[in-house]
Structure 1
Amino acid sequence: MTKQEQLPTLVTHVELMIEARWVVPVDSSNNLHEFYTVVIHHQVIVDVLPTAQARIRYTATESVVLDDHVLIPGLINAHTHAAMTLMRGIADDQPLMIWLNNHIWPAERAIVTERYVEDASLLASAEMLSGGTTCFNDMYFYPQATAAAASKAGIRAHLGLTVLEFPTNYAADADDYLQKGFEAHDSWRSNPLISSSLAPHAPYTISNQTFEKVLTYAEQLGLGIHTHLHETRDEISQSEASYGVRPIQRVADIGLLGPGFIAAHGVHLMPHEIDMLAEYGCHVAHCPASNLKLGSGIAPISALLKNNVNVCIGTDGAASNNRLDMFSEMRLAALLSKGVTEDASVLPAHQALKMVTINAARAIGLENKVGSIEIGKQADLVAVKLSDFSISPCYDPVSHLVYSCGREHVTHTWVAGELRYSHGTYANIEPVELKEIIQTWQPKLRQYKH
């Protein structure tokens, strides 16, 4: 034994230690650690090591022992409209444009206010936290209200500064949307859980002039761009009739494509368009359930992945899904890809898990902060119990997460090291408050169901 080995071990005191049966760090080697501990101090992961070693090296103010659980990075919903949660179930079984024009947009004109958005976003935040989602990439009106709800719930939010050409309750025209968005962006700069992107709604609702303004501001402020793109065949036909090119070519000609660009949906993409997304380093937010429910089609995820396009997963809004459930989206994405390609090896479980964690973090520019369990990153973590009889036995925890588990198996959700949800209880949200929100708004929205 050397002199160095004879020295006493220095014991460090930390705020939190989480001991888990398994830890899935979501790293480049697809590691799975058994009997491991994640050590957290001041919101940050300071160590990831075998539990036997952790008990020697550290003491903690709080220790959580999860004998039957797998600990994973917090899930990231890469495309949603949180405040549409109160519209869940309105005008189901309708194609996208009929659903929007005849039901959703009239409801929004009549109902949507700052108060509505804050209430609905709090309900959405509660649903997401209970299902292991610790961060969501949003696009909706009154982003300051969404920020207030997310901050209260303690969930991380990447909020799109929505832009449209036509007037709504929120803004009068494109310039008004931009101005209100910048005011919102400035208001949360000191909030570590809130970040921003510019969110022009879609090529069919945005003029070239406005797209050019969005590009200029995005470059000046260092913000990404988040838009709906190639969601339906009608959208593409309209673009060809009005502009002579498909939507992706139009936004490429304006200069929008780049490493900060997120294309929500990307259902109808030709091979050369996939090459274009890869060349510019763009991201695609795949929304399998929403695309199926609205009859929009199935995105070519296998081809995107083969061309090294960064693909993440979103739920879309609860009005078109009708759940903000990343476990069901992850499973559906994997199964759809296998079925479409007739290849069972396509989109394996570890890759599906990356799409709802590190890939999504990369898309919204937060990969250095969240998306994996690594030293130096924020402690956004989720514990999933694998011992329930309904999902037993378990041979491969990663496979189990994708193909067997549901959001009901989530027992703990931490955001920045703070426990925000555990066994049906929220840290900052009272169930009676959520019940009151539903009772307040459901009667007002009921008339737009048909």
Structure 2
Amino acid sequence: MTQTLPPQTCDLLIEAGYVVPVEPHGLVLEDHAVAVRDGRILAVLPTAEARGRFEARETVSRPDGALIPGLVNAHTHNPMTLLRGIADDLPLKVWLQKHIWPIEGAVMSPAFVEDGVTLAIAELLRGGVTCVNENYFFPDVQAATYRRHGFRARIGLPVIDFPTAWAASDDEYFDKAGAVHDQWRDDPLVATAFAPHAPYTVNDANFERVRMLADQLDLPVHLHLHETAQEVEQSLKEHGQRPIARLDRLGLVNDRLIAVHMTQLTESEIHLCAERGVSVVHCPESNLKLASGFCPACALERAGVNLAIGTDGVASNNDLDMFGETRTAAILAKAVAGDAAALDAFTALRAATLGGARAIGFDHLVGSIEPGKQADLACVDLSALETQPLHHVVSQLVYATGRHQVDDVWIAGRAKLRGRQLVDMDADAIVANARQWRDRIAGIRVG
């Protein structure tokens, strides 16, 4: 006689028409459910079986939904959300030195950072993003803001060769970096990384300090690298080496390196990244808008380099739309490689989820829908006419879906977006605050 076991309890049962776990690669599970307890994924199983096996405190049923891992935006400057659209249609050097840096010099403050991050979090959640790799000043304020809103983030500890509102000297940058790291080293949602800005703004001595401390603390190093041809030319003139060769000489080309942009690469440099375990963050829309160049995403991925996707900052994108960014990445990769099979839909989605998680050292926590991982999830409604007929779920997600189709988002099993509505954020107040910053920034003279 077979004994019927009593149902297990769980906090949340999400029933979806489709579950795209990302790992194993290429798999789509129809009519499946995800059980969540204590913020972690307990099981992934057919919906009919889940209903008999689990007694859930809350059940969310989305028969037309595709449940995916929360998207990971692997390179952001989220306080700059308040600078959306102020310096468009300019090349990188002019954009940065003649407009962005002067405006930041006038407004950068803890309040600017807190309000910019808050606006970004609201936008990210509405686009299915549950985790970011952040790179900006006042990391202490950033960390506190992400934590307050229950949002997962790797916070960059800035290092740059000139004074800013955050620090006035090399020693102060490093002293403050240590203090912020110590404060957040054991937090379940927020972690840190070193964020030396770029090879053209950080000297050898500071890069060596970053390498030594990153080794000691086991922290990633997140920086802009090979973003433009001008950067490479300047490095050859000043250092006699291309930027990545200089970083290699300084001991930074390893599996801790998160290299952002990488539009100027030789075949040997691609293989160096693969051999050393470097992660590359592809930011196609920012690179296109600033005419910085084309990251060889397909060549990197086929060489075995871990590929992630980031939006970059809103000041150069001009949004935090990871669905749009992933579509652009997939399509651009085909044009750059001259190969229609380059960066297929499954691979692109993987880069936007597990690839980002691996780049920032969070892949043991998030990036795929697997038992034991954190329940950072997004459910996308595929019932709209714009995504019909539905032949291939992942094709629709990458090539046809917009962020406006994200219905639900959870971080560590907690609902952050429900029915397109932010659960614990006041959207009207956030918009009103952004307009106050617009009025203040409008009065700043630049150029």
Band the TM-score falls in, shorter-chain normalisation: over 0.9
Alignment partner of 2:165 out of 157, 165, 169: 169
Q: State the partner residue of 1:271.
A: 267
Q: State the partner residue of 1:438.
A: 434
Alignment partner of 2:113 out of 117, 125, 146: 117
Alignment partner of 1:81 out of 77, 84, 100: 77
Q: State the partner residue of 1:211.
A: 207
* Structure 1 segment 34-433 matched on structure 2, within 5 A: 34-433=30-429
CA distance in 1, matches of 2:212, 2:338: 43
2:170–2:206 Cα contact (<8 Å) kept: yes
Structure 2 residue matching 1:262: 3-state secondary structure: strand
Q: Shift of the alpha carbon at 1:13?
A: 1.0
1:274–1:304 Cα contact (<8 Å) kept: yes
Q: Deviations over 1:417-442 (max 9, x none)?
A: 00011233222210232023212211
Give unmatched runs, 5+ long, in structure 2: none
CA distance in 1, matches of 2:13, 2:369: 13
The alpha-carbon distance between structure 1 residues 56 and 263, as it changes in their structure 2 partners (threshold 3 A), is same
- What one-letter code is carried by the residue in structure 1 that aligns with 2:351? M
- What one-letter code is carried by the residue in structure 2 that aligns with 1:75? L
CA distance in 1, matches of 2:72, 2:446: 30
- What one-letter code is carried by the residue in structure 2 that aligns with 1:437? N
- What one-letter code is carried by the residue in structure 2 that aligns with 1:287? C
Structure 2 residue matching 1:203: 3-state secondary structure: coil
- What one-letter code is carried by the residue in structure 1 that aligns with 2:217? L
CA distance in 2, matches of 1:221, 1:184: 13
1:125–1:149 Cα contact (<8 Å) kept: no
CA distance in 2, matches of 1:341, 1:312: 18
- What one-letter code is carried by the residue in structure 1 that aligns with 2:90? Q
Q: Shift of the alpha carbon at 1:341?
A: 2.2
CA distance in 2, matches of 1:350, 1:416: 24
Q: Shift of the alpha carbon at 1:151?
A: 1.8
CA distance in 2, matches of 1:114, 1:29: 42
- What one-letter code is carried by the residue in structure 2 that aligns with 1:374? E
CA distance in 2, matches of 1:56, 1:346: 42
Give unmatched runs, 5+ long, in structure 1: none
CA distance in 2, matches of 1:321, 1:389: 28
Mean CA deviation greater in 93-102 or 140-149? 140-149
Q: State the partner residue of 1:15.
A: 11
Q: Shift of the alpha carbon at 1:448?
A: 5.2
Q: Shift of the alpha carbon at 1:309?
A: 0.6
Q: Shift of the alpha carbon at 1:415?
A: 0.3
Q: Shift of the alpha carbon at 1:139?
A: 0.4
2:299–2:337 Cα contact (<8 Å) kept: no
CA distance in 2, matches of 1:29, 1:164: 39
Q: Deviations over 1:134-158 (max 9, x none)?
A: 0000100001111122123221111
CA distance in 2, matches of 1:212, 1:190: 26
Q: Deviations over 1:154-206 (max 9, x none)?
A: 21111110111100111112221121122112222343110111010000000
Q: Deviations over 1:323-368 (max 9, x none)?
A: 1010001000010011222221111100000001111111111111
- The alignment's C-alpha RMSD in Å is 1.1
Q: Shift of the alpha carbon at 1:258?
A: 0.7
2:10–2:54 Cα contact (<8 Å) kept: yes
4+ residue segments displaced more than 4 Å: none
Structure 2 residue matching 1:176: 3-state secondary structure: helix
CA distance in 2, matches of 1:122, 1:149: 7
The alpha-carbon distance between structure 1 residues 317 and 239, as it changes in their structure 2 partners (threshold 3 A), is same
CA distance in 2, matches of 1:145, 1:418: 23
Q: Shift of the alpha carbon at 1:449?
A: 7.3
Give the TM-score normalised by structure 1. Answer: 0.97
CA distance in 2, matches of 1:382, 1:82: 20
2:184–2:192 Cα contact (<8 Å) kept: no
Structure 2 residue matching 1:205: 3-state secondary structure: coil
2:98–2:446 Cα contact (<8 Å) kept: no
- What one-letter code is carried by the residue in structure 2 that aligns with 1:403? Y
Paired residues in the alignment total 446
Mean CA deviation greater in 440-449 or 89-98? 440-449
